[in-house]
Chains A and B, each alone.
Chain A
Amino acid sequence: MTEHNNTSPVLDVHDLHIEFDTRHGALKAIDGISLQIAPGEILGVVGESGAGKSLTGTAITGLLESPGRISGGEIRLEGQRIDNLSQDELRRLRGRRIGAIFQDPLTSLNPLYTVGRQLIETIRTHLPMNRAQARQRAIELLAEVGLPAPETRIDQYPHQFSGGMRQRVVIALALCADPKLVIADEPTTALDVSVQAQIITVLKRLCREHGTAVMLVTHDMGVIAEAADRVAVMYAGRLVEVGPVADVIKHAKHPYTQGLMNSIPTILHDVERLEQIEGSMPRLTAIPEGCAFNPRCPHAFERCRVERPDLIAVDEGAAACWLVEEGATPPPQARATADTLVDHHD
């Protein structure tokens, strides 16, 4: 986790702003986000629908569509600025240096072509290989993502695969040209829990082996807990907390992260009521003054309502909360400890 700190980051997003032009003026969808991902590191990006997590991923891959536009900040891939590239340059970049995995594996694959044809086409677009070499590499890739009998399955069509197997093919496609960065947007959300675990294991192993940096966008804290090294929590287009996964999950600093963690039901202990964060995330047209979370925050005080907090370093992470600056981290509500987990194995 921390051993990557000395190496230069693969992805460096600095003060990114994304706006949507509407009849009523520009809507700020992303309002000043900065994050880095080191080689071989998995950064989990969490938040509720509409917090801007997928939009951040879209901007990095250069797939942002009008009326959305990057209105400020920089995105650097291995030191090179990529937010101002032309469409042509971006197309060469995608697939070669940035891979993408999306939620629904069926829409990521062309139903009319065999998976082999899709893999070979992608490999040959980006790497100098002839057909036979590319096919060989495709088979190796399919074996790497744990697809049984890749020599025969390579000639099958996407509908002949189950959901989990399709998502493995999509991972193989994303890793075709050995990219430096993979953006995985809700890669396990459409899958059953038992298959989820398999996919996470594959993704994690491959990124370690290839030294690929991964931005794992998800709303599922369980997936984050298992896959990510560091977590970035988003709320209303802003980053509210960043830190090593264990810190964020067990000792969240920001009241929003705490609320989010406490609202997840657990099988470890019985509660009559779940903790809930009152209200809902503000619409982009009505982001409150000061800290965007202040109307829902149980600890909000005067300063929160007028002045917007930036990320303030604390321990190994950072949180955008005035309480943190004043050294008065709200005490995390106690959750169950490990001891209450009754082992159910033989």
Chain B
Amino acid sequence: MNMTETMSASMREAAPLAASQNAGASVDSSAEQPVFRITNLKRHFDVSPPLLNRLLERKGRQIVKAVDGVDFEIYRGETFSLVGESGCGKSTIAKLVVGLNGTTDGSIEFEGQDIARHSRRDMDAVRHRLQMIFQDPYASLNPRWRVGEIIAEPIQVFGLLEGKAEIKQRVKELLEGVGLNAQDSEKYPHEFSGGQRQRISIARALASNPEFIVCDEPTSALDVSVQAQILNLMKELQQQHDLTYLFISHDLSVVYHISDRVGVMYLGRLVEVGEKHELFRRPQHPYTRMLLDSIPDLEMTGRARTPVGGEVPSPLDPPSGCAFHPRCPHATARCQQEVPLPIHNVERGFVACHAVEEGRLIATD
């Protein structure tokens, strides 16, 4: 507890050190207040066997620490991405941020208010400003509803417009805004391809005029050519509607393309956060380096893709100290015992690694 509190405290005081090479215009004024400030966010899941089994088999409770003390900020108009392998907790964070899951500990400040402590009623006032796009466009649309009804639902639920004609007009605008036709509102989801369904999901997300959209692997189920269309659409809409995105993906090339800042997660913790050019060109954490090395080489430069040893350990029984130490080539005895604290050595970012702190591992250009 104490440790994580000091973590967030030091994060706020951190003087921006390095690099004025930030290209993203949205990352300019340092006095700017973040839209979201996530502090010491935790979500633990109880996956214990039933009581009787525990008694008979003399086993204790089993807790998965899906998110275990995460701090980050998201600024207005930017795209902040979370990357990491399956099971690192990135999708859990997505759900926590929009309130689909309750938190175990920590705070989620949206424009200064802690929405993790909000009552249902307070949350209703905020909810239409936060929307989400899910990974699987086949599962996230009700197959028995017409597309028009799907998109109109948020408008009706939040009472944003009165009258059938007005709602119909709005649905038409939304459909056209995502590159579909007004006539498509009469069709059912099964009549559309994966890419078109994802456009419908986006139109539904935009229906309540949100300022902030969480995109959980929105293109992972799509082919590359369709992915390009959806990513382009998302960038256009971001500019048109002044949107802020939290983008979740395991695909580093997609993340590089869409993001302004990137956070790398490993077993429920953020190991490195930074502006994308900084993070991709000068990765500090050994895990970030490992991930970057595992990007397939499409340019055929002869760069050997180093197969990384090992896999992500079970989150039921995470390694002690720095969770990455069993796979890390730079691990020492200290890494096995002590959880590394974030070092704020880049602007709006940090790295949590003993090797970096001790100067054993220096980022090179």
Contact = CB atoms under 8 A, between A and B. Distances in A.
Q: Do A and B bind each other?
A: yes
Interface of A: 48-49, 162-165, 192-198, 200-201, 219-223, 225-226, 245-246, 249-250, 259-261, 263-268, 270-277, 280, 335-338, 341-342, 344-346
Contact of A264 (B195, B253, B291, B305): B253
Interface stretch (B29-37, B59-67, B118-126, B218-226): B218-226
A205 to B, nearest CB: 11
Given A271-B257, A344-B289, A266 B235 contact: no
A263 B224 contact: yes
B60 to A, nearest CB: 21
A161 B127 CA distance: 41
16 contacts: A48-B226, A162-B311, A194-B307, A197-B296, A219-B224, A250-B299, A259-B225, A265-B231, A266-B298, A267-B253, A273-B232, A275-B228, A338-B301, A344-B280, A344-B292, A346-B361
Nearest to B83: A193
A249 B299 CA distance: 8
Interface residues of B, number: 51
Contacts of A336: 299
B319 to A, nearest CB: 15
A265 B225 contact: no
B254 interface: yes
Contacts of A335: 299
A273 B233 CA distance: 9
Interface of B: 23, 85-86, 193-196, 223-229, 231-232, 235, 250-254, 256-257, 280-283, 289-292, 294-301, 303, 305-308, 311-312, 361-362, 364-365
A182 B232 CA distance: 38
A259 B256 CA distance: 20
B91 to A, nearest CB: 14
Contact of A192 (B299, B312, B362): B312
A192 B231 CA distance: 21
Given A195-B311, A219-B224, A265-B253, A342 B281 contact: yes
B89 to A, nearest CB: 14
A192 B364 contact: no
Contact of B253 (A196, A266, A272, A280): A266
B261 to A, nearest CB: 14
Contacts of B223: 48-49, 219
B253 A197 contact: no
B252 A264 contact: no
Given A341-B299, A344-B364, A277 B225 contact: yes
Contacts of A264: 224, 228, 253, 298
B224 A268 contact: no
A197 B308 contact: yes
